[in-house]
Amino acid sequence: MKFFADTADIKEIRELIDLGLLDGVTTNPSLILKSGGKISEVTKQICDIVEGPVSAEVVATEYKNMMAEAEVLAKIAPNVTIKVPLTLDGLKACKTIRTEMNRMVNVTLCFSANQALLAAKAGASFISPFVGRIDDTGSDGMEVIQEIRQIYDNYDFQTEILTASVRTVNHVKQAALIGADVVTAPPATLKALVNHPLTDKGLAAFLADWAKTGQKIS
């Protein structure tokens, strides 16, 4: 399973790279706003340090304008993955970007298995179902991931399931159990995967016993 960081914060991204945990990055207009920088500059800075896909999102809603923005974003770096919304214009743009620009596309704002089916048919590289936002409506985000996995496997679609809007470590575990290809999560959530009270307790006990030996490893 690949780990993408759902952030435009360079410091956080660098920390995950140093930990050896990072396979890519996803951004969106809200994350660019939070970063306080210009989309072209922030995306370039991220692409300079990340080898994997870096999603940058178009903000136009009409096909022609989406394509114009996709051209601009694609010029930033070869690993920029164009993110388009799950609308008819977005799907049309996805098809063109894949076939004519030969670029990776991340179809975002997916909330149902049928939407994911359309994205796969449009040749999307990634589909981003927003599990946290689905949970917020009282439905089960992970059920949607499970349905998409089954549909993609039924027809051997190569589109990767990029579990998005991840809020908890349990979302990560469930996505991994189902067989989602990628999770994108806030860096704090990815780092929280390491936590277990018995690890802390065990380490404290080992260190206390070690201190009693009076030894040093040298």
Q: Look at the chain and count its residues.
A: 218
Q: Which stretch binds ligand E4P (CB under 6 A): 37-45, 124-132, 140-148, 210-218?
A: 124-132
User: What stretches of 122-167 show up as alpha helix (H) in DSSP?
Assistant: 131-136, 141-155
Give the 3-state secondary structure of residue 167: coil
Total Cβ atoms within 10 A of residue 42: 20
Residue 35 touches ligand E4P, criterion: CB under 6 A: no
Of the candidates 3, 111, 130, 152, which one interacts with ligand E4P according to CB under 6 A? Answer: 130
Rounded CA-CA distance 40/59 in Å is 13
Q: Which stretch binds ligand E4P (CB under 6 A): 13-21, 38-46, 58-66, 127-135?
A: 127-135
Rounded CA-CA distance 76/44 in Å is 6
Of the candidates 132, 169, 178, 191, which one interacts with ligand E4P according to CB under 6 A? Answer: 132
Residue 14 touches ligand E4P, criterion: CB under 6 A: no
Which segments within the chain are labelled E, that is strand?
2-6, 24-26, 54-57, 80-85, 105-110, 126-129, 160-163, 182-185
Residue 115 touches ligand E4P, criterion: CB under 6 A: no
Residue 108 touches ligand E4P, criterion: CB under 6 A: yes
The active-site residue out of 83, 92, 173, 191 is 83
* Contact pattern for ligand E4P over residues 142 through 161, marking x by CB under 6 A: --------------------
Which residue lies nearer to ligand E4P by CB, 161 or 217?
Answer: 161
We find the least distance from the C-beta atom of residue 143 to ligand E4P, in angstroms, to be 17
Residue 165 touches ligand E4P, criterion: CB under 6 A: yes
DSSP 8-state assignment for residue 103: -
Of the candidates 5, 16, 164, 190, which one interacts with ligand E4P according to CB under 6 A? Answer: 164
Site size toward ligand E4P (CB under 6 A) is: 11
For residue 169, give Cα distances in angstroms to 51, 93, 141, 191.
Answer: 25, 33, 14, 9
- Which token pair is 122? 């449009």
Total Cβ atoms within 10 A of residue 47: 19
Instruction: Specify whether 83 is catalytic.
Output: yes
Residue ranges binding ligand E4P (CB under 6 A)? 6, 26, 28, 108, 128, 130, 132-133, 164-165, 184
